[in-house]
Amino acid sequence: MTDPYKSVPIRSSEITPRHVYLSRRDFMKAAGLATGAALLTACAPSAADLPGNTKPVPVSNATDELGDPVNSYGDITSYNNYYEFTTDKQQVSKEARSFTTTPWTVEVGGLVNKPKTFGIEDLLKDFTQEERIYRLRCVEAWSMVIPWEGFTLASLLKAVEPTSDAKYVRFETIYRPEEMPGQKSPFYEWPYQEGLRLDEAMNDLTLLATGLYGEPNVPQNGAPLRLVVPWKYGFKSIKSIVKIELVAEQPATLWNDIAPNEYGFYANVNPDVDHPRWSQASERRIGELNRRPSLLFNGYGEQVAGLYVDLDLTSNY
């Protein structure tokens, strides 16, 4: 049996999406980046190195409920999945530094009694802000522990009063290719779309994050408003949200549409269900050299396992 803690270089297949993998030019670029990703713990830029950063770097000695320390602010803000800007995780912060986040509005509607368009300043003022330390697990077998600041999605949905016909929540990110060069890519159907079942959306763990480390969100982390669903893989946690819609049918989502055999609608962290191109049984925490076993529901089973008691997690991956 393979030692799950053994230090193993990240393969290019672990960090390269299928449609980039199939492109010769992008694949060669991504393969070259794999070595850099494997050495991330030694060469990741600090927050002080980030473009435009002149403020003191936030620090924290906090841990999550499993006792794992939070990742550094530099880790969290310098290594990002955000294909709207670039597929190069270590270049997102550079590409995103000129992204405009004000003014910003979020349209919340669909099958609700009180549809409303909120300004970001309204959301910050009217909904309770709190810090929550969550593990974020990415499908490419890496993870972080992040002290998010925000409010529950449930509090926002209750304010617009979903009707009895509402069964799912659909999310849409902003479409702004003039500022988000990755949106010019022909490999993806923009704008980014994601979805949750309504009961998942109403769970107390589901967060709309407005900041981290006590600071406002930065563009590379999804400013000004992003979803955080800590028991699912990272691609479910859509960034830079401009529209939230309550719907009756399961909504289309970008990754599920592109590669349904690789990226299921549910995307619950499950070490027993492999991605077609790699195992999901272990992960590498950014900032660590060794791999660790993945936890079912990313360790949040006590809070969310009840949502799936009648669901086959193998076929509904």
Q: Which domain holds residue 291?
A: 12-307
Provide the domain count of the chain.
1
pLDDT tens readout for residues 273-298: 999 999 999 999 999 999 999 999 99
pTM to 2 decimal places: 0.85
Question: Does residue 240 sit within a domain?
Answer: yes
Instruction: Supply the pLDDT for residue 23.
Output: 43
pLDDT of residue 143: 97
The answer to whether residues 78 and 69 touch, using CB atoms and an 8 Å cutoff, is no
- Provide the CATH number for the domain around residue 16: 3.90.420.10
pLDDT tens-digit readout, 91-125:
999 999 999 999 999 999 999 999 999 999 999 99
What is the model's pLDDT at position 74? 95
Residue 312 located in a structural domain: no
181 in a structural domain = yes
What's residue 140's pLDDT? 86
Q: Report the chain's mean pLDDT, rounded to a whole number.
A: 86
Please indicate, yes or no, if residue 313 is contained in any of the structural domains.
no
How far is CA 154 from its chain centroid? 18
Closest CA to 227 of 298, 157, 287, 295: 157
Does residue 46 register a pLDDT over 50? Answer: no
Residue at 81 is within a domain = yes
For 125-159, how does the pLDDT look when each residue is reduced to its tens digit (9 = 90+)? 999 999 999 999 999 889 999 999 999 999 999 99
Q: Is residue 180, in this structure, part of any structural domain at all?
A: yes
Residue 102 is assigned to a structural domain of this protein:
yes
Q: How confident is the model at residue 25, as a pLDDT?
A: 34
Q: Is the pLDDT of residue 14 over 60?
A: no
Cβ distance 276 to 230 under 8 Å?
no
Q: Please indicate, yes or no, if residue 6 is contained in any of the structural domains.
A: no
Q: Distance between CA atoms of 203 and 216, rounded to whole angstroms? A: 24
Residue with more model confidence, 155 or 3: 155
